[in-house]
Each structure stands twice: as structure tokens, then as C-alpha cells.
Chain A
Amino acid sequence: MPAVQETIDRVRKIDVDQYKYGFQTEIAMDKAPKGLSEDIIRFISAKKDEPSWMLEWRLEAYRRWLTLDEPTWARVHYAKIDFQDIYFYAAPKSTPGPTSLSDVDPELLKVYEKLGIPLREQEILAGVQKTDASELEEVSDNVYKSGRVAVDAVFDSVSVVTTFKKELAQAGVIFCSISEAIREHPELVKQYLGSVVPTSDNYYATLNSAVFTDGSFVFVPKGVRCPMELSTYFRMNEKNTGQFERTLIIAEEGAYVSYLEGCTAPQRDENQLHAAVVELVALDDAEIKYSTVQNWYPGDAEGKGGIYNFVTKRGDCRGDRSKISWTQVETGSAITWKYPSCILRGDDSSGEFYSIAVSNGYQQVDSGTKMIHLGKNTSSRIISKGIAAGFSQNTYRGQVSAHRKATNARNFTNCDSLLIGDQCGAHTVPYMEAKNSTAQFEHEATTSKISEDQKFYVMQRGIPEEEAIALIVNGFVKDVIQQLPMEFAVEAQKLIGISLEGSVG
């Protein structure tokens, strides 16, 4: 009956689980058996052709992990994770040669096409004509066109393809999967891996150290300004898999790199686990800009399924005058547990954190940052915008600390929360610790709802309620959106709109 069908369609439309990226792709997968043991770690390490020191490193982390307890301090509630019921390794079967797109399973390429990511270089912002990827590799001369993005795509656990490698290599930039880096550049990996987030850091970081299967590696040598944006796309496809990627970015003296990360996962009933570690190292005068748009599956309207996102991200401003900037747009995941931090070790170094966290349905977000001021004249800035709707809980948790010797440490923190509906919660938990009299810390936070006046003003111009709210929310988060690279800014605005659908009425 058409009428019934129409009703079903309409109900479906206003449903919370409007998950744009919720489709599954049938690709042959190569999986390790379920569960976690030393054997699984040996299996992963062998699969990756890793040197023995890497295996030792993993095993040591695993033994450490066995002694740790899951942290419970965050404001998130979930059923205990059964780590023996997870596949810790899942790779697309037709693992391609990591250099050329033409070897990639066409099904996989279709996935990326659906996602609309600029994997194929034709999707450069300017809308360059469609050319075959391999051709583009050939023609890449030393003219760096602006607006191009080099992509490292990670599918479930494995980096499948990295683009623009040649052009980057000409500039001296290494951009490859971390497995490749372990094989090709062991001296760099040995020097920096675990130097920001040690294997003993926390429960999930330790787990990641033991079982990480892939991720991206970026090395920008002294004085080089990376000629294009670098980007990684993470996607979890296989059932019951955990995704454990490890990203390591090193900017040598005076180098600059801007890195984008995007994540999606298909719709699944079960909760999938994601526990990533990202380490950034900035030496003297270097600058790293790290942007994330996270849109993992948030679970359905009843709060069933969704991704558990337990991520450790930390940047080390190791050199003087170095700068690390985190920008994140968090709209997905059933649970987000994420605190991108900066260790301001070098004198005159600075850290920034810009965040938008949107939660709807039964999502739980506990996110924020840490700014650890160690060097002299260091400064940090935190702008956090939380939007809670539906039955969600949205927490900002941040720490700013100045150590004894951190003279003239400076911090400004602003975290605002917006509540939509009376069933959700917004929480702010900042920690400020000053051990130096010259430190200057400022913190402000507000919580309120969208005012009826604002809504009325927009609606009386003929804009429907839902769009009016999206518009006001986008105004509310403008300060953060401005920090995103242009390619992401447009996508992020749309995402916020999609995430809030169904929050009205």
C-alpha cells in the first residue's frame, strides 16, 4: 500500500539513525582468529613482515596491558568490552601493492567513491578533470598545485593505498603507512614511536601498542613546508573488528604540515571498538596542524550498536617556538573518549585545541584536551563547543597545567555548551593547575539552550525549524569551523546538520 510505504519512508527520514555512510561493502576479508593472545600479536607482526624489535615492543606492551584495568573516570557508560570476542586483525584479502591505485579491489574504490573522499585526484577541490590515478602519478612534476590532497586510506586495519607519493618524495616528505615505515625507515620509527605516548601510557594506548595493525606515517624534513594537505581516511567495515591504527607525524626544524583525518564506519548492530594512538612531534620552529572529522556510526535510535571510540592523541612541542594545533569535529560514535593534548616542552611553543562535539540519540561524548606547560613563555588556547540533543551526554574534560619552571605560561579556555531538549546533559569539567606565579590562566564556560528569540528570528523568514536550528548551531560553532581546512569546513557544516536531524519536536 503506497500510503503505508510513504509513512514508513517519512518516519525513517526523521529517525535519528540517518547515517549517511551506513552501507556495507562485500569484500573478501583476511582475518586472524578472534581474541587476543601473544600468538595473535605474533600473527599480526608476521603478517606485516615486521622486524623482531617491533614484535618485542608489541609483546612488552601486551604484557603490560594484562596488568592494567579499564579506566572508569570518564562520564561514559557501556557494557564491559569482551576483548576475546574481537577480531584484532582484518585485512582486505586482495592486499594491493601499496603504490598504485589500479591494483586496488574495485569494490574498495567504490566505497571511497560513495564516501566522496578525494582518493582519486580528480576530486581536487577545483574540480580537475577525471584522469587515471596512475597517469597522474606519472605527470606529477615539481609544480605543486594548491588544493590537492594526498590520501592514505585505511580499511579496517590496513592501509590500502597512499597517493601522491612521488610528488611528496620530491619535496623530501615521507608519507606512507606505518607498516611500510617500520620496514623502510626503521631508524625514524625506532626513534619516535612511543616517545610521545609511551606503551605504558593508559589502558587503550597500551592495547593499541600491542595490536596496532596500521596507520599513517609522516616525516617532514628540516625546513620543508609540505606541499599539500595530507589526509587519512579510516573506515571500519568488517563485523566484530577492532580498528587500532597508529599515526606518527614528525615535523623537523622549521617544517610545516597540515594533516586531515576522517573516519566512517558502516551501520552495524554490534558495538565496534576503535582504539587509536596518534603521536605528533614538532621540533624547533616546526608547526603541525591536525584536523579530524569523526563520523563513525553512532548507533541507532534506541542506542543499539555504534562505535566505541577510545583514542589517545598527543602532540609534543619538543622544539622551541614549535606549534601544534588540534581541530576536531566529533559527530559520530556511540562513545567518544578522546583528549588530544599538547606537551609544551620547548620555550615559546604554543598549542591550540578547537573542538566541536555534537551528540544526539544515545551518544556519549567525553572529550577535551590537556595543555601541559613545561617550557618558558608557552601559550595555549582552547575553544570547545559542545552540542547535546536527544538523550545524549556531552562532557568537556580538560586540563591546563603550568609547571614550576614554566614562566609566563599563558592559557585561554572557552567552552560553551548548547542543550537541545530536556533529556540530554552537558557537563564541563576543567582542571587548572598553576605552579608558577607568572602563569596566567583564564577559563570561561557557559551552558544554555538556543534562545526562542533567535529561533523565531530565523523561522519568521520562512526557514523551517530544523534548518533554523542547524543554522544557529553552525553560527555557534563558527569559531571552530574557521580553523578547519576548506575541504573539511564544508563537509563539517553538513555533518552537523545531519547529526542534529530528528532532534526537534
Chain B
Amino acid sequence: MNMHTQPQRTPAETALIDAFGERLSLLPGDGAVMLKRDDAIEAIKHGLPTRRVESWHYTDLRRLLNAVPDFDPAAAVKAIAPIVEGSAVLAVLNGVSSTKVPAVEGVTVQRLSEKLIDGSIAPGLDPYGSDDAIGALNTAFVADGYFVDIADGVELDKPIELQNLQAGGQTHVRLPLRVGAGAKAVIVERQTGDGAALVSSVSQLVLGEGAEVTWLIVQEQPETATHLAQFKAHIGKNAKLTLFVMNAGGKLVRQEIMVKTTGEGADFKLRGINLLAGDTHSDVTMVLDHTVPHTTSTEVIRNVVTGKARGVFQGRINVHQYAQKTNAKMACNTLLLSDDGEFSTKPELEIFADDVVCGHGATVTEIDHDHLFYLMARGIDEKSARGLLVKAFVAEVIEELDDETIVEALEARLDDWFVAHG
């Protein structure tokens, strides 16, 4: 008899494995896609990551994911108004894409279920490593999404808004996007809904030479939902990517950002705000690889922690040996506003090239008493003064975005959060 038995499976692990058995016949794709799914569920059978897995140190998924809802095919949800008026909306409603998609010149849209059935998406389904639980979960269960291709040289004047809306149960969505050489676009990724769902969502972006993309992730899940998301990007030669992440919801949230600069002159900007409230756990983890010479990146993350919320930011910058002349800077600032809240951060630098300028800074603090005094001395009551300072702290990051309509749209989302959470 084999004495080395696996540690007992948690109810969530068992539920996922059982669900895979039940869903198997309904999942699109066979052959190559099915092989990837089999590998992925094998990885989950080995157990969800615990805090002993370094990349999950502050988010013990095995312990935190204590229940997995069943699939709910009957649940329904409707597309919502885009944050920027006039955007082309591509909605995934409770895990299902629509057959009717708006026509935008120079943009090809395909339902992901079709790409799964014809197997053409199979090579992109591999998780990136043994600790990629989100990638594995998504690969095992992914059923739909959109594949978007923006042709070379196309400059979009209105954003494309990708909506992933859940109505409870489980949804597993993938959103691959290719932006051709010299193309310019603004992409909005909305993650919201009204159910106590388990959501996994993987966005994959490939930027061609000289392409410029601003990608906004607006996550506003209800305080009952589990949201496990991944954003992966390859930035080509002289291409520019500005990624803005706004995390303002969810019960258990992990947003992973994996970016690689693959061509010289590539530039990456990450701006993020995490607004944490209630009894929630939210984790933003970034891994940035500078693999070629002469690339630049800056990351600014601002966190506001209230209530009993637990926040995490992990940011790792890897500078490979040949990536000389890399310039990379990262800052993570946190306002910890309640005694029951907590915030952990791990900004890492891994540097194998010598001719580089890299740095990171991190702070955790409460509201500056001098600032507060300054406002209160002018007759503003303490509550309003605090509100003003906290809002200014995060709005600063939003205002860095050039586009005024986008800034206004995001500030409106910010106002909504402050109204809801005082």
C-alpha cells in the first residue's frame, strides 16, 4: 500500500474536480484543447497553492477559497452601459459570448468558443508555470470569450469595451487580443456582476511593432464574488502599453499581471488603484520581464485599505542578462485607514544585467496629520477632510492618463466607490 497519501482535499478542490467531470462533455474543443484541459485539471488535483508557494505567500488560495458554487446555466444578465460613451461593447454574459458583435473597421472579432472548437487557440492555453493556479483553472474550464484582432495601422477613435458580467455560479472567460504594427487603441475590460460567482478571466495581449495601447481594467465585483484574473502581455519593438487597473470590489480577488518586453524600445506603464473595504481579500501580483536591451517601465500602485480588508501587492521586475540599459521604476503606496485592515507588499528586483537603472519604493502609512490639520484649519470637518485627502491620493494616479474622457469616466467610478464606502 502506498503510505504517501496526498493531504486531504479541501471541499473547494473536490468541488472543482467533480465539476470538471460533470462539465467535460459540455466544454468546447477536443484533441489539442482537451489535452491542455486534462493537464490543467491534473495540476489542480495536486492541490491549490498555499502560502508555502512563494508567489501565493500572502494569498493562501487553498485556505481562502472555501466554497465553489455550481455552474448555473439558467442565470441571466444584461450588458451594461460602457464607461465611455460610444464604445464598441463586446459582452460576455454569464460566461457566454454573443453572436451579434458590433462592426468596427479594421477590427476582427471572433467568439472564443469557435476558436476552442477549431483548436486554433490551443497553443495559448498553457499555464506559465507550476504555480499558475489561475491559468490552470481557466484552461480547464474556459468555455467562451472573444478573440479580437486589430489590423496593422488601424487607429481606433473610440474604445472597445470588453464586458465580463456574471450572474452567479461559475464563469471562465478568456479574452485574447492582437494589436497589429502601428495600430492604436483604447481597451476597457469591465469585470462585474451581481452574483456570488467564481470567476476566472484571462486576458492576453500581443502588441506589434510601434503599436500603442491603453488598457483599463475596471473590477467592481460584488462583495460576495471570487475573482481570479490574469492579464498577460507581450510588448513588441517600440510599442507602448499603458495598463490601468482599478480594483474596487470582490470578496476574494487576485489580479495577476504578467508583462514581457520582447522588442527594443518597448515601454510599459502600470497605474493601479486598489480600493479595499469590508471583510475582503485583494491581491495584485505583477511579474515584469525585461528580456531585451533598451526598454523602460514605470509602475505606480496606490492602495486604500478600510474595514477589515486585507490587501496585497507583489511586484517583481526581472531584468534578464541581455537586457542592458533597462530603466525600471516601481512605487507602491498604501493608506491604511483602519486598525482591522492590513496590507502586505513585496516589491522585488531580480537583476542579471549590470548597465541598468532600477529602483522601487514602498510605503505604508496613515493620513498625514499635517495635511489633515491644514484642511481642518480652513473649517473643513474631519470626515470631509479625510475624504478629500484619500480621494486626492488615488485620483492623482488617474489624472496621469492623458485622455480626458477616460479620466472623467474613471473618476465617476471612483466617486461611486466613495459614496458606497463612505
Provide the A63-89 mask, 1 if CB < 8 A to any CB of B, else 0. Answer: 000000000010000000000000000
A420 within 8 A of B: yes
CB-defined contacts of A73 to chain B, threshold 8 Å? 54
B279 smallest CB distance to A (angstroms): 15
Q: Is the CB of A437 within 8 A of B366?
A: yes
Kindly report which residue of chain B lies nearest to residue A422, judged by CB atoms: B354
Stretch in A131-139, A165-173, A376-384, A427-435 touching the partner: A427-435
A129 to B368 CA separation, bound complex (whole angstroms): 59
CB-defined contacts of B349 to chain A, threshold 8 Å? 417, 426-428, 445, 447
A503 smallest CB distance to B (angstroms): 11
Kindly report which residue of chain A lies nearest to residue B318, judged by CB atoms: A427
Q: Is the CB of B346 within 8 A of A442?
A: no
B352 within 8 A of A: yes
Of B342, B359, B365, the residue contacting A435 (CB under 8 A) is B342
Contact flag A432-B364 (CB < 8 Å), given A445-B359, A446-B358: yes
Q: Is the CB of B363 within 8 A of A431?
A: no
CB-defined contacts of A446 to chain B, threshold 8 Å? 357-359
Kindly report which residue of chain B lies nearest to residue A425, judged by CB atoms: B352
Contact flag A447-B364 (CB < 8 Å), given A431-B344, A437-B341: no
Of B336, B341, B351, the residue contacting A419 (CB under 8 A) is B351
A448 to B360 CA separation, bound complex (whole angstroms): 12
CB-defined contacts of A304 to chain B, threshold 8 Å? none
Q: Is the CB of B351 within 8 A of A432?
A: no
Provide the B339-378 mask, 1 if CB < 8 A to any CB of A, else 0. Answer: 1011111111111111111111111111000000000000
Provide the B296-319 mask, 1 if CB < 8 A to any CB of A, else 0. Answer: 000000000000000000000000
Of the candidates A404, A436, A447, the one having the most CB atoms from chain B within 10 angstroms of its own CB is A447
Of A432, A436, A444, A449, the residue contacting B356 (CB under 8 A) is A449
CB-defined contacts of A425 to chain B, threshold 8 Å? 350-352
CB-defined contacts of B270 to chain A, threshold 8 Å? none
A448 to B57 CA separation, bound complex (whole angstroms): 28
Contact flag A434-B339 (CB < 8 Å), given A419-B354, A447-B351, A448-B357: no
Q: Is the CB of A427 within 8 A of B347?
A: no
Contact flag A427-B362 (CB < 8 Å), given A434-B336, A436-B339, A448-B356: no
Of A424, A431, A433, A441, the residue contacting B365 (CB under 8 A) is A441
Q: Is the CB of A431 within 8 A of B346?
A: yes
A130 within 8 A of B: no
A46 to B341 CA separation, bound complex (whole angstroms): 53
A424 to B356 CA separation, bound complex (whole angstroms): 13
Q: Is the CB of A432 within 8 A of B336?
A: no
A420 to B363 CA separation, bound complex (whole angstroms): 29
Provide the B316-340 mask, 1 if CB < 8 A to any CB of A, else 0. Answer: 0000010010000000001011110
Q: Is the CB of B336 within 8 A of A439?
A: yes
Q: Is the CB of B336 within 8 A of A428?
A: no
A443 to B341 CA separation, bound complex (whole angstroms): 20
CB-defined contacts of A417 to chain B, threshold 8 Å? 349, 351
Q: Is the CB of A422 within 8 A of B362?
A: no
CB-defined contacts of A427 to chain B, threshold 8 Å? 348-351
Of A421, A430, A435, A436, the residue contacting B346 (CB under 8 A) is A430
A77 smallest CB distance to B (angstroms): 15
Contact flag A442-B363 (CB < 8 Å), given A422-B353, A422-B354: yes
Contact flag A432-B346 (CB < 8 Å), given A404-B339, A440-B364: yes
CB-defined contacts of A447 to chain B, threshold 8 Å? 349, 351, 356-359
CB-defined contacts of A444 to chain B, threshold 8 Å? 359-362
Count of B residues near A, CB < 8 Å? Answer: 35
Provide the B107-124 mask, 1 if CB < 8 A to any CB of A, else 0. Answer: 000000000000000000
Q: Is the CB of B344 within 8 A of A434?
A: yes
Q: Is the CB of A443 within 8 A of B351?
A: no
CB-defined contacts of B337 to chain A, threshold 8 Å? 437
B316 smallest CB distance to A (angstroms): 9
CB-defined contacts of A435 to chain B, threshold 8 Å? 342
Q: Is the CB of B342 within 8 A of A441?
A: no
A438 within 8 A of B: yes
B416 smallest CB distance to A (angstroms): 24
CB-defined contacts of B357 to chain A, threshold 8 Å? 446-448
Q: Is the CB of B362 within 8 A of A441?
A: yes
A430 to B362 CA separation, bound complex (whole angstroms): 10
Q: Is the CB of B354 within 8 A of A421?
A: yes
Q: Is the CB of A437 within 8 A of B336?
A: yes
A421 to B345 CA separation, bound complex (whole angstroms): 30
B330 smallest CB distance to A (angstroms): 9
Q: Is the CB of A424 within 8 A of B354?
A: yes
A448 to B359 CA separation, bound complex (whole angstroms): 9
Of the candidates A433, A434, A440, the one having the most CB atoms from chain B within 10 angstroms of its own CB is A434
A420 to B365 CA separation, bound complex (whole angstroms): 35
Kindly report which residue of chain B lies nearest to residue A410, judged by CB atoms: B365
Per the 8 Å Cβ criterion, residues 326-375 of A in contact with B are none
Kindly report which residue of chain B lies nearest to residue A428, judged by CB atoms: B349
B368 smallest CB distance to A (angstroms): 10
A447 to B348 CA separation, bound complex (whole angstroms): 11
Of the candidates B336, B343, B349, B356, the one having the most CB atoms from chain A within 10 angstroms of its own CB is B349
A73 to B344 CA separation, bound complex (whole angstroms): 19
CB-defined contacts of A431 to chain B, threshold 8 Å? 57, 344-346
B395 smallest CB distance to A (angstroms): 21
A323 to B360 CA separation, bound complex (whole angstroms): 29
Provide the B37-80 mask, 1 if CB < 8 A to any CB of A, else 0. Answer: 00000000000000000100100000000000000000000000
Of the candidates B341, B351, B353, B356, the one having the most CB atoms from chain A within 10 angstroms of its own CB is B351
CB-defined contacts of B343 to chain A, threshold 8 Å? 432-434
Contact flag A422-B360 (CB < 8 Å), given A437-B366, A443-B347: no
Contact flag A443-B358 (CB < 8 Å), given A425-B350, A433-B342: no
CB-defined contacts of A419 to chain B, threshold 8 Å? 351, 353-354, 356
A504 smallest CB distance to B (angstroms): 13
Give me the interface of B with A, judged by CB distance under 8 Å: 54, 57, 321, 324, 334, 336-339, 341-366
Other A-B contacts than A434-B343, A437-B338, A445-B347, 19 sampled, CB-CB below 8 A, are A73-B54, A419-B354, A420-B354, A421-B354, A422-B324, A424-B354, A425-B352, A426-B351, A427-B349, A432-B343, A434-B344, A437-B341, A439-B365, A441-B365, A442-B361, A443-B347, A445-B360, A446-B358, A446-B359
A-B contact pairs, 6 of them (CB 8 A): A404-B339, A420-B354, A438-B366, A445-B359, A446-B357, A446-B359
Of all A-B residue pairs in the complex, the 9 with the closest CB atoms, nearest first, are A419-B354, A435-B342, A446-B359, A443-B362, A434-B364, A441-B364, A428-B349, A433-B344, A447-B358
